[in-house]
Amino acid sequence: MNLGKLRPYHVRILSCKRVFTKNYRNEVEEKIIGFLELNGERFRYTAPYELPVDELVVWAIPVAKEKKKNNDMLQIVFEVWGYEEIYGDYGLTSVEVLDEEFRDLKSIRECYVKIVDEDVNIALSVLALASRLNKQRDFWIMGIVLQGKSSSGKSYLMSNVLKPWSLLGKVYEFTRFTGAYLERKFSNINHNLDDTIFAIYELFSNTPQQLHLTLSEGKLRVGVVDKETGEPIEFEFQGMPFMFSTTPMEGIREDLRNRIINISIDESDEQTKKILEFETRLAKDPNYADNINKLNELNMRRLAKYIGSLEKKYVIVPYADRLFEALTFWDVKLRRDWKKLLSLLHASALLFQKHRPKIKLENGEEAVVATLEDFENLLYVMPAFEETLIDLTKKEKLLFEIMRNENAEEYSTKELVILAHRHGWRVSDRRIRQVLDDLIGKGYVVVEKRGQSNYYSIVRNYEKVELEKVKDKVVEDLKAFAEKHGLEDSEIFGNLDDSAEKPASKPQKREIDHSEETEIETQRVSSNSIKTGLATTLSIPVSISSESEKPVSNPQNAEISGNREISENFQTFRNDPTPFINSPLGSPQAGESGKEVDT
């Protein structure tokens, strides 16, 4: 920093305020003051005119001035003379994405080549993030908390899922922050946080109340006293950021749990084996690891470009009443959770809006129609979303099922540890007690203390929402809606043939094929070469876990682009992705005119 010299500085303007002062001639002058951020430090600035609250290159003179309350201390004030706006394309301008490229959840999942399995968790996370495309703020999902044991890969999964949004410049990453930081960092800035994502690694138990208020109210306003001037100051910012976080804690604070969607990472031995196999392959062959990274970067850029091209719209759900008919319980927690379920349905229609019919509303706005494919997408993520709906994590539900299936009147901690091990869950008595405490807190279990021992009994069962039962009625409502608005059946039912008889989103398992040779289907799409950065034609392979629940939208129909069967074995690509990096860029979809591309 060169004091007293006019130089360009790359800064972020944090605030901008118009004030009136008197000059040396006792004349009233108008000027702009505020704070800017340079290299992580915050400085005051003055300017002759208002500055955009954004990243800028400012031409300014840093001046050392005495602090008002302490004449022995100096502070640096930037006198801004001019600025240039920074227009960043996040490296996506040259990326081209075909309209047919992303048609369903499967095509989204196949972009994440560095994540092993976790298909349903990825789908649920992407839909939750896509809910912010809704023009009805009431149907925004506030956040996701990914739970799991320490070292289970929670942060890895979160950072990879968020990569497309990071490329779009929407993600703020934190390991920890205080309420005071939240107030001051985002206060008095002319920037709405609605499109901002807070990625918090390892959510701590005492999360700031300011964060909870921001997630639910969409604004925060705090009054404090400035330490330097002694004057009262108001901090305020608008917007409802999306929170994506991880936590090893079994029990999340109830007020936060009610606001977010809870997801549990797969901690099974089978999943661990698959991850270790993949990591072993990366360690064995640096070329393979390098190609995987290059392929992942290309996929993330393509997905980011697609997400960035989507518009905020309203959503019409012709069969919403049928979903309500599937409810059989009326717990107070449903007041928030039912809206989350409907938000996921809206999000599916918005995420694939380029392949959904549109209807003009009375106010002239365009609304996307939720089709049968969106209903199927909702069914597909229900196994993961059920944790939120019934208010039981995966481990809580597992222990509850063990207690219910054994059908004993009561259990000691020791008995439950033994039973858990018999069911393949290697768990300590300490972890069992933690899970039991949460079941007690949620009203599913009661404890009776006799002597030095505690005995646990089930007092109530959990309720489920069985949406599959209303599928026939959903189809009827969609047919009536299509007839009323002059829509074709293909627009309403998409790629699902005989939809009422084929529950495409019902989880289905695929066996692993360990053969060395497999066919990989690819698609041709124009993009940039990694090496040259020039617009050339490259090929990217299909990337999906070898054994997982099939993503939705008609796995039966192999002829329709975006919904055909994926090769049973993906081992060829996992063994050597090099040919797919150096050959034409492909995607999860079919090639030109629905044909395969020779590789």
Give the torsion through C-alpha atoms of 410, 413, 417, 422, to 10 deg.
-20
Crossing angle, helix 119-130 and helix 372-389, to 10 degrees? 100
Instruction: Report which DSSP code applies to 93.
Output: T
Contact 351, 126 (CB under 8 A): yes
What is the C-alpha to C-alpha distance for residues 430 and 434, in angstroms, rounded to an integer?
6
Contact 238, 218 (CB under 8 A): yes
Q: Which long-range contacts (CB under 8 A, 24 or more apart) does 45-50 make?
A: 45/77, 45/78, 45/79, 45/80, 46/77, 46/78, 46/79, 46/80, 47/79, 47/80, 48/80, 48/81, 50/16, 50/18
What is the C-alpha to C-alpha distance for residues 367 and 359, in angstroms, rounded to an integer?
5
Whats the size of the chain, residue-wise? 599
- Cα distances (angstroms) measured from residue 307 to each of 92, 144, 283, 397: 11, 19, 33, 35
> In what helix (H) or strand (E) does residue 21 lie, and over which residues does it extend?
strand 17-22
The DSSP-derived string for 189-244 is -S--GGG-EEEESS--TT--HHHHHHHHHSEEEEEEE-TTT--EEEEEEE---EEE
Secondary structure of 132-181 as H, E, C letters: HHECCHHHCCCEEEEECCCCCCHHHHHHHHCHHHHHCCCEEEECCCCHHH
Q: Over its length of 599 residues, how does the chain's per-residue pLDDT go in tens digits?
A: 678 888 888 888 888 888 887 777 788 778 889 999 888 889 999 998 888 877 888 889 999 988 766 566 788 999 998 887 665 555 676 677 776 789 899 999 999 999 999 999 999 999 999 999 999 999 999 999 998 888 888 999 999 999 999 998 888 887 666 655 665 555 544 556 788 898 888 776 556 555 655 555 655 555 556 666 666 666 666 678 898 988 876 556 676 777 889 999 998 889 999 999 999 999 999 999 999 999 999 999 999 999 999 999 999 999 999 999 998 888 888 888 999 999 999 999 999 999 999 999 998 999 999 999 999 999 999 999 988 888 888 889 999 999 999 989 999 999 999 999 998 888 888 889 989 998 998 899 999 998 888 999 999 998 888 899 999 999 999 999 999 998 888 888 866 544 333 333 343 332 323 333 333 233 323 333 223 222 223 333 333 333 333 333 333 332 333 333 333 333 444 455 544 443 333 333 223 333 333 33
Ranges of beta strands (E only) in 440-546 are: 445-450, 453-458, 522-528, 535-541
The total of other beta-carbon atoms located within 10 Å of residue 447's CB is 14
Q: What is the pLDDT of residue 440?
A: 92
Q: Measuring CA to CA, which residue among 151, 159, 154, 188 is closest to residue 35?
A: 188
> In what helix (H) or strand (E) does residue 350 lie, and over which residues does it extend?
helix 334-351
Contact 125, 243 (CB under 8 A): no
> In what helix (H) or strand (E) does residue 129 lie, and over which residues does it extend?
helix 119-130
Q: What is the pLDDT of residue 207?
A: 63
Q: What is the pLDDT of residue 277?
A: 95
- Cα distances (angstroms) measured from residue 175 to each of 154, 193, 202, 542: 13, 19, 7, 34
Reading the block at residue 109, the tokens are 């999942």
Q: Measuring CA to CA, which residue among 278, 267, 432, 347 is closest to residue 105?
A: 347
Instruction: Report which DSSP code applies to 45.
Output: E
Contact 194, 154 (CB under 8 A): no
Q: Measuring CA to CA, which residue among 341, 377, 370, 339 is closest to residue 353?
A: 370
Residues 6+ apart with CB under 8 A from 325: 470, 473
The SS3 call for residue 457 is: strand
Reading the block at residue 403, the tokens are 């207690």
Instruction: Report which DSSP code applies to 26.
Output: S
Contact 563, 502 (CB under 8 A): no
Reading the block at residue 319, the tokens are 């069969």
Q: Is the pTM of this model over 0.75?
A: no
Contact 438, 342 (CB under 8 A): no
End-to-end CA distance of the chain: 54
Q: Count how many Cα atoms sit within 13 Å of the Cα of residue 185 in the half-sphere of its side chain.
A: 14
Strands 197-200 and 242-247: parallel
Q: Count how many Cα atoms sit within 13 Å of the Cα of residue 213 in the half-sphere of its side chain.
A: 13
Contact 147, 248 (CB under 8 A): yes
What domains does the chain contain, in order, with CATH numbers? Answer: 7-85 (2.40.50), 394-458 (1.10.10.10)
| The dihedral sign for the CA sequence 203, 209, 215, 218 | negative
Reading the block at residue 158, the tokens are 């979160």
The total of other beta-carbon atoms located within 10 Å of residue 382's CB is 21
Q: What is the pLDDT of residue 184?
A: 57
Which single residue is written with the structure tokens 């705090």?
222
Secondary structure of 488-502 as H, E, C letters: CHHHHHCCCCCCCCC
Ranges of beta strands (E only) in 111-186 are: 143-147, 171-174
Q: What is the pLDDT of residue 91?
A: 61
